[in-house]
Amino acid sequence: MSYLEYSVKTVPSGWRKILYLNWPVVVLLTAVAGVGFLMLYSVAGGTLQPWAEPQMKRYLLGLVAMFVVALVPIWFWRNMAFVIYLGALGLLVAVEFVGSVGMGAQRWIDLGFMRLQPSELMKIALVMALAAYYDWLPLRRTSNPFFVALPIALILIPTFLVITQPDLGTAILLLTAGGLMMFLAGVHWAYFGIVIAAGAAGLSAVFKSRGTDWQLLKDYQFRRIDTFLDPSTDPLGAGYHITQAKIAMGSGGWTGRGFMQGTQSRLNFLPEKHTDFIFNTLAEEFGFIGGMSLLVLYVLILVFCVVSALQNKDRFSSLLILGVGLTFFLFFAVNMSMVMGLAPVVGVPLPLVSYGGSAMLVLMIAFGLVQSAHIHRPR
């Protein structure tokens, strides 16, 4: 593997690279983040504190990080992919021993200025590692059982570590993103058939394990699934959250109840209104039109990523771009399914809108990689 194959001389260099950024994506990202600022301002009752202002600062930091990452040539990132993966893995292990636990999930390491969640880092590191792996692997060996087992190990090791944290949402995200990366790389259909069948078997095993001494999920995780399947079983407990979230969304109607007029969020009926359930505030205050607008912004970002990937002749670059887009998609798809009552509440934030530092920074760095791949694409 060598970057010598690229037509390096046509790649822009120095500060001129800035002109070759995928600017529409930058604008769209800023627009989505702007929606986030607006909603954080609203749920705080019309003040910048305590959420909107820190979120803006983080976004600016993320933007800078994105530019820095974008200016570094993509082949450097490709060569660093495994190092980054191993680093993230190391942090995941380390956090088991020295990390702090908050809200029953997600462990972090306190860096002083921010809390680093290694599981967030792993999302992008896994995508990079898999893209690099399939870039290295000769095409004809893609479906060779041994070379299929290797990436599976790459996916399962961090997934297992994250589950033990315990952070079911991130684990599902890692597993799905990893699997889809393998699909993109061209692994034979049959493998996916087997995995889906095994998955169905595993799922039934998980439910069978309930109440036995080899129980595979924690009790609260089982309860969340129960609640998802029938929120009315626990209308005042866990079911309360999802019921209130649906009321908030549904009561918005076509045009919403108006900026800062959402009673469900303003009167605190809506749980976690500044993090996981922020989309419900948007839907309540700006209605179907507001919710769809954000969805369209997300879709546009995806479209630009896919177009950029398809234009890119470099295998690592196009896999990476598609992988980042995929991760991004999984974020908002899982979050939205969750807050609309289509999926159990697993604690996945709405990308770039929910209040939270790690997730935003990691996403911005991921889009930095997308930009780098875009700038340094072979022409």
Rule CB under 8 A: which residues touch other proteins?
1-2, 5, 138-139, 180, 183-186, 244, 246-254, 263-264, 267-269, 283, 287-288, 291-292, 295, 298-299, 302, 306, 309-310, 313, 315, 318-319, 322, 326, 329, 333, 336-337, 340, 342
Return the number of the residue (309 or 359) whose C-beta is nearest other proteins. Answer: 309
Return the number of the residue (45 or 211) whose C-beta is nearest other proteins. Answer: 45
Token pair for 112:
């002083």
Separation of alpha carbons 211 and 199, rounded Å: 21
DSSP string of 162-186, one letter each residue? HHTTT-HHHHHHHHHHHHHHHHHHT
Cβ-based neighbour number of residue 196 at 10 Å: 11
HEC string of 277-332?
CHHHHHHHHHHHHHHHHHHHHHHHHHHHHHHHHHHCCCHHHHHHHHHHHHHHHHHH
Return the number of the residue (169 or 290) whose C-beta is nearest other proteins. Answer: 290
- Hey, what's the torsion of the CAs at 143, 146, 150, 155, to 10 degrees? 60
Are the C-beta atoms of 181 and 319 separated by less than 8 Å? yes
Q: Which neighbouring-strand residues pair with 115?
A: 110
Return the number of the residue (163 or 370) whose C-beta is nearest other proteins. Answer: 370
Return the number of the residue (53 or 234) whose C-beta is nearest other proteins. Answer: 234
CA-to-CA dists, residue 201 to 197, 221, 243, angstroms = 6, 19, 31
112 Cβ neighbours under 8 A, 6+ residues apart = none
Separation of alpha carbons 43 and 311, rounded Å: 41
Checking DSSP bridges between strand 105-110 and strand 115-116, what pairing results, if any? antiparallel
Return the number of the residue (2 or 212) whose C-beta is nearest other proteins. Answer: 2
Least Å distance between CB 272 and other proteins?
A: 12
Return the number of the residue (71 or 249) whose C-beta is nearest other proteins. Answer: 249
Least Å distance between CB 75 and other proteins?
A: 14
Return the number of the residue (138 or 145) whose C-beta is nearest other proteins. Answer: 138
Least Å distance between CB 186 and other proteins?
A: 4
Least Å distance between CB 333 and other proteins?
A: 6
Return the number of the residue (89 or 320) whose C-beta is nearest other proteins. Answer: 320
Least Å distance between CB 245 and other proteins?
A: 10
Least Å distance between CB 199 and other proteins?
A: 17
Q: Which neighbouring-strand residues pair with 109?
A: 116
Least Å distance between CB 146 and other proteins?
A: 19
CA-to-CA dists, residue 345 to 129, 224, 244, 349, angstroms = 29, 7, 13, 11
Separation of alpha carbons 132 and 2, rounded Å: 12
Closest-CA residue to 313 (of 226, 373, 243, 238): 373
Least Å distance between CB 239 and other proteins?
A: 14
Least Å distance between CB 212 and other proteins?
A: 35
